[in-house]
Amino acid sequence: MGSSDYCLNINNAHQKYDEKTILNGINAKIKQGEFVTVVGPTGCGKSTTLRLILGSELPSKGKVLYNDIMITKPDRNRGVVFQKYSLFPHKTVRENIMFGPELETFNLFEPIIQPFRYKRRRKEFKVIADQYLKRVRLLEHADKYPNMLSGGQRQRAAIAQAMIMKPDVILMDEPFGALDEGTREEMQIFTLEQWKDSKQTVLFITHSLEEAIFMGTRLIVISQYYQHDAGEEGSKIVKDIDIPWDHPRSTKIKNTTQFKDLMESIRYEGLDPDHLQNIGDFDLSHIDSVRNLM
């Protein structure tokens, strides 16, 4: 069984909005436990791809499979961290993190019929939530509301909120896009630590190439700029490569020549709108990548 080794399988996914093709045949198979980073020029459909995997959008053509089952809507197996609005503004940080487990066991009548069981379970959730709060170093801010937190704290809370559900896959859509440089690096290291502990599959979208190379085990570049013979439009995966460094990585690797060369070549081949690669020249060297010449 080849395909069931993959926890996510995007099979020839197209997406069209009002006759404008955004995605033109995205193919990717992703193994359990991988940290996949996705980069691409502005407007290439990175976030659309994420929404297809999340299930908040359905592809106009093609299939997106989670463990060989078609994805039709967001569910608890695929957690998500957005750049903004991941937290519920009317709940405190602790309530936000407890919310998932609470919803999962929620029964409208239980508080009335079995009040003691309900209370005991709430207490258990609070203990678990506090463990997560400790992990994301927010325990002293547990009773604050999201609007009282800094950007970095908010994103840490959002990560804890997603992780407490222990989903197989965590999708991150430019989670550190709004953070300043220092906080950003701190969050990168933090996220990698969490990933190593949880063994989850992560799909991480970013517009920072450096961040993508530093964090990922596998890097995918999606771009609408490539040489098309038949006058096709819409983005394709133009690069799908393995990132060679072992985890855990030190931030020092960002300064090595190898890192900088890799960054330069990806920027030239994948992100430069003036450099149009031919479909046949795409660097799809990752072991799981799918070449589709059509």
Partner 1 sequence: MFFDINAKPGKSISIFLGILLFGLAVMLYGSASHSRHADNPQDKLVPTPTQMWKSFSNAIFRPVIEQEFNDDGELIPNDEPKNLREAFKVGKHWEMLRNGEWQLLEDTLASGYRVLIAMLFIFAGVLLGLYMGMFPYLDKLLYRFILFFDKIPALAVLPILFIVFGLDETAKISLIVIGVAPTIILDTYLRVKDVPKENITKGMTLKASTQEIIYKIVFPQVFPKVLDTLRLNFKAVILFLIAGEALAAEAGLGYRIFVVRRYMDMATIIPYVIWISVLAFSIDFFLRRWIKKKFIWIKK
Q: Does 145 bind partner 1 (CB under 8 A)?
A: yes
Phi, psi of 235 (to 5 degrees): -80, 150
Q: Shortest gap between Cβ of 192 and partner 1 (angstroms)?
A: 22
Closest CA to 221 of 289, 294, 170, 293: 289
Q: Shortest gap between Cβ of 152 and partner 1 (angstroms)?
A: 18
Q: Other C-beta atoms within 10 Å of 160: how many?
A: 25
Using CB under 8 A, which residues numbered 41 to 60 contact partner 1? 54, 56
First CA to last CA distance, the chain: 25
Q: Shortest gap between Cβ of 143 and partner 1 (angstroms)?
A: 11
Helix axes 181-198, 151-163, angle to 10 degrees: 10
Q: How many CA atoms lie within 13 A of 277 on its CB side?
A: 23
Region of 77-85, 132-140, 233-241, 270-278 interacting with partner 1 (CB under 8 A): 77-85
Q: Does 100 bind partner 1 (CB under 8 A)?
A: yes
Region of 126-134, 145-153, 221-229, 267-275 interacting with partner 1 (CB under 8 A): 145-153
Helix axes 115-135, 93-104, angle to 10 degrees: 130
Distance CA 105, CA 64 (A): 29
Among 59, 146, 152, 216, interactor with partner 1 by CB under 8 A = 146
Q: Shortest gap between Cβ of 138 and partner 1 (angstroms)?
A: 16
Residues that bind partner 1 (CB under 8 A): 54, 56, 73-76, 78-80, 82, 84-86, 88-91, 99-100, 103-104, 106, 145-147, 161-162, 165, 167
